[in-house]
């Protein structure tokens, strides 16, 4: 959980709120209040007790530092929190104090509180993801037909359009948003099992209390308590991890496009943003750095959630605790990367003229595939490949356009006229194919809306 110094770089303000110490306390208290109301509804505790408890469950009344210290002794936060809450209740209504946390165990409060925070976190991510999707839809539409060079292995390959690159980013973002929704929804279940997951302390009324609590908190009821089965949370963590990986892919591309030698796109310069303390001319791609650092960190955090899964028996030791900071960090990193990228792509400075000049810089080599395929029916696939490969080498060595080198080759002239050769170097087909793919992606998206 990044503090005030690092927080603003690595996360969004909304998400920091969700996972703040105050936010965590309140989530635990929301569980306690919901439990009291649910138990009153089902007739397990007096209505009046539920009212008193419910009214006092406000994080402002609790001393974060003191609960942190006491929680370190007891091994979890719920024990000192319940003790403090009980004291507050007792001060108002002695009788009601006995009904605080009735029949529940610490992990019930901690896990359900976590689920409540997760729900808030998912809401915040949804908004940021939507902003990113809108930015990408806009870019893809505007640049559906903007020619640029496609690059493989960091080498010029064949012409594409910038819109096609953006459409790839867009589709991946949509897939990850969808999976995050699914994994998030599956994780929104209440935890209520009592000491060992049987809810036995509530007798026959256990299941009814669980249902009422879920209704109070607008969560689902799981088939069984899940104290030592953390697969839903791990699944959610991996959905965040894969989303961050996709954001890292987008940021990798943008940072490469923004290189001084490439210059095809750059993050909008805001006052003071991305400057350098020593070099007045620098414009650093800060959003890309934030997303790439999230992409470097998320895999390790996801691995932690998975490594923590084999928890002992009905409630484990160590594995459960390893989740406590790890899942929040994943949310924070994801939100930071999403928010930054959404802003950066919303204001991306695109340089179509640099795209075009870069496309042309390799003297026709990017069209070598087309030429090779045109010659293959005459020379065989391998013969054609070899001929073109030789011509490419000469073109690079002599700094002459591949078309001109090929134009002098008798082997080529025998099969392709001057005009045919000329046509092969027109990237129009490539670009049309790219544009069509972009248009289809956008059309399908519009239909779905």
Closest CA to 10 of 292, 344, 289, 336: 336
| CA distances from residue 314 to 107, 225, 226, 320 in whole angstroms, order as listed | 11, 10, 9, 11
Active-site residue set: 276, 315
**Minimum distance from residue 323 beta carbon to its own copies (Å):** 9
Distance CA 247, CA 253 (A): 10
Closest CA to 395 of 372, 363, 423, 418: 363
Q: By CB under 8 A, name the one of 37, 113, 372, 406 that touches its own copies.
A: 372
- Per CB under 8 A, which region of 32-40, 128-136, 235-243, 409-417 contacts its own copies? 235-243
**Minimum distance from residue 419 beta carbon to its own copies (Å):** 18
Count of residues in the chain: 449
Distance CA 372, CA 380 (A): 10
**Minimum distance from residue 334 beta carbon to its own copies (Å):** 12
Applying CB under 8 A, does 322 fall inside the site for its own copies?
Answer: yes
Applying CB under 8 A, does 4 fall inside the site for its own copies?
Answer: yes
Interface map 7-46 toward its own copies (x if CB under 8 A): xxxx---------xx--xx---------------------
- Per CB under 8 A, which region of 119-127, 343-351, 386-394, 407-415 contacts its own copies? 386-394
Applying CB under 8 A, does 113 fall inside the site for its own copies?
Answer: no
| Nearer to its own copies (CB atom), residue 80 or residue 119 | 80
Distance CA 302, CA 236 (A): 10
Q: By CB under 8 A, name the one of 380, 413, 414, 426 that touches its own copies.
A: 380
Applying CB under 8 A, does 146 fall inside the site for its own copies?
Answer: no
Applying CB under 8 A, does 420 fall inside the site for its own copies?
Answer: no
Applying CB under 8 A, does 433 fall inside the site for its own copies?
Answer: yes
| Burial class of residue 310 in the structure, from the number of CB atoms within 10 Å of its CB (0-12 exposed, 13-18 middle, 19+ buried) | exposed
**Minimum distance from residue 65 beta carbon to its own copies (Å):** 5
Interface map 187-206 toward its own copies (x if CB under 8 A): -------xxxxxxxx-x--x
Distance CA 101, CA 74 (A): 17
- All residues at 6 or more sequence positions from 387 whose CB lies less than 8 Å from its CB, including other chains: 375, 379, 409, 411, 412
| Burial class of residue 24 in the structure, from the number of CB atoms within 10 Å of its CB (0-12 exposed, 13-18 middle, 19+ buried) | buried
**Minimum distance from residue 418 beta carbon to its own copies (Å):** 21
Task: Provide the sign of the torsion angle of the four alpha carbons 307, 308, 313, 318, taken in this order.
Answer: positive
Q: Name 155's bridge partners.
A: 152
Alpha helices (H) in 75-105, listed in sequence order: 78-92, 94-97
**3-state SS assignment for residue 148:** strand
Distance CA 409, CA 402 (A): 11
| Nearer to its own copies (CB atom), residue 142 or residue 252 | 252
Distance CA 434, CA 70 (A): 61
- Per CB under 8 A, which region of 123-131, 292-300, 406-414, 415-423 contacts its own copies? 292-300
Applying CB under 8 A, does 208 fall inside the site for its own copies?
Answer: no
Applying CB under 8 A, does 447 fall inside the site for its own copies?
Answer: no
Q: By CB under 8 A, name the one of 133, 215, 349, 437 that touches its own copies.
A: 437
Q: By CB under 8 A, name the one of 299, 353, 418, 426 that touches its own copies.
A: 299
**Minimum distance from residue 126 beta carbon to its own copies (Å):** 18
Residues 48-67 contacting its own copies, CB under 8 A: 64-65, 67
Applying CB under 8 A, does 448 fall inside the site for its own copies?
Answer: no
Applying CB under 8 A, does 106 fall inside the site for its own copies?
Answer: yes
| Nearer to its own copies (CB atom), residue 43 or residue 75 | 75
Q: By CB under 8 A, name the one of 35, 53, 139, 292 that touches its own copies.
A: 292
Closest CA to 321 of 343, 335, 342, 304: 304
Applying CB under 8 A, does 172 fall inside the site for its own copies?
Answer: yes
């Amino acid at each position: 959980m990044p503090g005030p110094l690092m927080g603003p770089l690595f996360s969004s303000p909304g998400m920091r709120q969700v996972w703040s110490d105050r936010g965590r306390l309140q989530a635990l208290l929301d569980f306690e209040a919901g439990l009291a109301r649910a138990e009153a509804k089902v007739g397990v505790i007096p209505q009046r007790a539920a009212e008193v408890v419910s009214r006092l469950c406000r994080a402002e009344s609790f001393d974060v530092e003191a609960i942190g210290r006491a929680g370190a002794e007891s091994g979890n936060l719920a024990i000192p929190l319940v003790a403090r809450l009980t004291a507050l209740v007792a001060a108002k209504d002695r009788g009601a104090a006995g009904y605080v946390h009735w029949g529940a165990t610490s992990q019930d409060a901690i896990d359900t509180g976590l689920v409540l925070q997760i729900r808030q976190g998912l809401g915040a991510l949804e908004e940021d993801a939507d902003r990113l999707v809108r930015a990408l839809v806009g870019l893809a539409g505007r640049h559906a037909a903007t020619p640029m060079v496609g690059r493989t292995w960091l080498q010029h390959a064949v012409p594409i359009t910038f819109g096609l690159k953006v459409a790839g980013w867009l589709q991946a973002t949509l897939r990850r948003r969808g999976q995050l929704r699914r994994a998030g929804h599956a994780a929104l279940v209440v935890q209520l099992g009592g000491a060992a997951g049987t809810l036995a302390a509530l007798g026959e009324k256990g299941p009814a209390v669980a249902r009422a609590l879920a209704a109070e908190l607008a969560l689902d009821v799981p088939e069984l308590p899940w104290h030592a089965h953390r697969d839903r949370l791990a699944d959610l963590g991996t959905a965040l991890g894969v989303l961050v990986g996709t954001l890292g892919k987008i940021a990798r591309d943008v940072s490469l496009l923004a290189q001084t030698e490439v210059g095809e796109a750059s993050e909008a310069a805001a006052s003071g943003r991305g400057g350098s303390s020593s070099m007045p001319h620098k414009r650093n791609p800060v959003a890309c750095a934030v997303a790439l650092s999230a992409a470097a960190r998320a895999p390790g955090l996801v691995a932690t959630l998975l490594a923590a899964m084999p928890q002992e028996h009905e409630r484990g030791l160590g594995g459960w605790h390893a989740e406590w900071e790890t899942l929040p960090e994943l949310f924070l990193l994801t939100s930071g990367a999403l928010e930054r990228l959404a802003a950066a792509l919303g204001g991306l400075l695109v340089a179509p003229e640099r795209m075009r000049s870069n496309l042309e810089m390799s003297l026709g080599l990017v069209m070598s595939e087309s030429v090779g395929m045109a010659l293959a029916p005459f020379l065989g696939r391998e013969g054609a490949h070899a001929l073109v490969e030789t011509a490419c080498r000469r073109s690079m060595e002599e700094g002459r356009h591949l078309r001109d080198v090929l134009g002098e080759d008798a082997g080529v002239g025998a099969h392709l006229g001057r005009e045919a050769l000329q046509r092969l170097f027109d990237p129009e087909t490539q670009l049309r194919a790219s544009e069509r793919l972009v248009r289809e992606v956008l059309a399908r998206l519009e239909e779905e809306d």
